[in-house]
Structure 1
Amino acid sequence: MKRLVPLCLLFCLQLAACGVPDSLKGFDSETWKNDRYACNGKRQSMTGEFEKIRRELYGKKEYVVRNLLGKPDSESLLERNQRIYYYYLESGTQCQERRKMSEANWVEVRINPTGKVSEVTYKNPL
């Protein structure tokens, strides 16, 4: 029983470490996540807010991106275990047909082989 308490404490600390860094906590993550594929127009109004935190994402681990921005609207797997997450910023044909990429503007978050963000760009720069 005495061993169980330190293990529980360690587990709780690990869960807390999987959150979002304080520097990114001002971003309205819940509104972003609830506007999947940008079909409700909320993300489009958040582009200025996103731009403020965009550079802070560099070097962050993949789980931080997922905790902050949610599941990507689409993703690509590249060679050597690199990935690109796509998050739409405006509504478009992706709202009707989610399996095809649309021409709507999006954010690309590139994850390198070590699981860290190496690039954050826009399809159509703001």
Structure 2
Amino acid sequence: MIKIRTAIPAIGLLIMYACGVPESMQDFDSNTWKNDRYSCQNQRAALVDDFDKIRKELYGKKEYVIRNLLGKPDSEELLEGNQRLYFYYFEPGAQCENKRQLSESNRVQIRINSVGKISEVGYYRPI
């Protein structure tokens, strides 16, 4: 018999990952986005308009939503106050040669506040 102490956290994790992307965002082609790390294959450029349609819905969502939707960020910056910036490129550029350095390529910048919620979604150089 499963103990309640172990069953409840396991059920919570299943629910969190099963419902990781809100229904209104499930039409976004998340797989294509995730498979084009650093946008070196230039497939993300075709998804910019689709991303822009769901961009405002991201505000206030937990960090796991963006990770489930867009995958691991191409780059990340730790800010003061335990905030983070996630970077996802829209076009190929210098980041394809040197993944450790930010390039001047178009990218989306997502700020995660100190409580793990998305507080800002902006573009480095809007397309």
Indicate whether the TM-score tops 0.5.
yes
Determine the structure 2 residue equivalent to 1:51: 52
Q: CA deviation at 1:16?
A: 2.5
Amino acid at match of 2:31: E
Q: CA deviation at 1:10?
A: 6.0
Q: Is residue 2:41 matched to residue 1:27?
A: no
SS at match of 2:114: coil
Q: Where does the alignment leave 5 or more consecutive residues of structure 1 unmatched? A: none
Identical residues among aligned pairs (%): 55
- Report which stretch shifted further, 13-22 or 97-106: 13-22
Q: Where does the alignment leave 5 or more consecutive residues of structure 2 unmatched? A: none
Determine the structure 1 residue equivalent to 2:124: 123
Number of residue equivalences: 125
Amino acid at match of 1:14: L
Q: CA deviation at 1:43?
A: 0.5
Q: CA deviation at 1:8?
A: 4.1
- TM-score (structure 2 length as normaliser): 0.90
Determine the structure 2 residue equivalent to 1:11: 10
Q: CA deviation at 1:2?
A: 5.6
**What does 1:64-79 correspond to in 2, within 5 Å?**
64-79=65-80
- TM-score (structure 1 length as normaliser): 0.91
RMSD: 1.7
